[in-house]
Each structure stands twice: as C-alpha cells, then as structure tokens.
Structure 1
Amino acid sequence: MSDATLADMAVYGTAAWPAHLALAARMAQTPATVTLAALKAHGPQPQVAAMSSHLDPETAATILDSPFGYPMPFVLAADKAARSGTGAYLADVADEAKWFAS
C-alpha cells in the first residue's frame, strides 16, 4: 500500500493501528518526507516501537517543529538526532515556543 493510502486510514482512529505501525516501520527503515507526513496524519496518540534508525537533520527538524503531531518515540529520536548534529534541541524548541512559561 502507498503512504497516502495508509495516511487516509487515520480517519478510523485507533482501529487504524496496522496502518500506523506500517508507516512507523517504513520510517525506521528508510525515512522519507512523504512517509513522515503520512505518519503525522495518525497523530501523537498511537503507540509505536521505539525508533531504531538515525533520522537525518531535516527530518528531525520537521518533527521538532511540531512535536505534538508525532508519537513520542519519534520526538525522542528527533531530539537525539538534533543533539548529534547542528539542528535545534527539543529544549530550545520548548523555550522558543514557551511550552512551560508561567
């Protein structure tokens, strides 16, 4: 199935977990912008296995720009990738967006 077809299945919510897992597996093997967008369609709620592949800086930056749209394992993997490169750290993103401002 194509990434677009798997993304369309997000309308079924939790019942679309097989599509979400397929997209997560694709991202773990070969990260791509199209697959990342399809994964985001499923939102942050589905639980996936931890990311085991290294994300490139561009993909990490895309995830860190809107971390609430992705599952936590992807946000943590993006943060780790940013720490090893020159991209933004999750802490910097949180400060800039004033996530914890009182």
Structure 2
Amino acid sequence: MRTPDNGHHFAYRVIQDAWDDASAAGWIHRAELYEWARPRPEDFVPAHVTPEERQERWNRLTELANACRARAALAWHSEAELRDALEDEVRGHAA
C-alpha cells in the first residue's frame, strides 16, 4: 500500500483553501462577518466612544460588507464561466 505524499497533499490543500477563499461563498461569508461585527444598540459602549464614532464604525463595516457582496457577485459569474468551460472541455474529451 502506498502512503500519500505529504508534499502533494499540502499543495492540494493550499490550492483548495485559496479557491474557497476566492469563491462567491467565501466572499458572502466575509460580508456576513462584517455585518455581524457592526455595533448593535445592546452592545456595551465605553464612555469615551461617541455616537458619531459608533455610526462611523457601522458605516465602515457596512461598506466593507457591501464590497464583499459585490465581489461575490463577480466571483459567481466567473465561477459560472469556469464551470461552462470545464463542461465543454469534458464533453470535448468524451466525444
């Protein structure tokens, strides 16, 4: 029985992680994290934080979440094009 080559397994995992991070699902996950991090009314607020600072933080995190969602839409279209190209390639080899 042959044992797997750890170098190839590591390389595979690196590529898989990079793909997952760049995928539409990865960008949506980032957007959700930014939205979750926005200040909420029930949060504890230190005395030195002004309402304007809280609003600025909320706005900044909302902008980041929106940017991630826009990037997810772009990734979704790119993934669809890649899927179509791969399907065409597989059909070409099957013929």
Q: TM-score, normalised by structure 1?
A: 0.23
Using CA pairs under 8 Å that are at least 6 residues apart, name the structure with larger relative contact order, 1 or 2.
Answer: 2
Larger Rg: 2
Q: TM-score, normalised by structure 2?
A: 0.24
The structure with the greater share of residues assigned to helix is 2
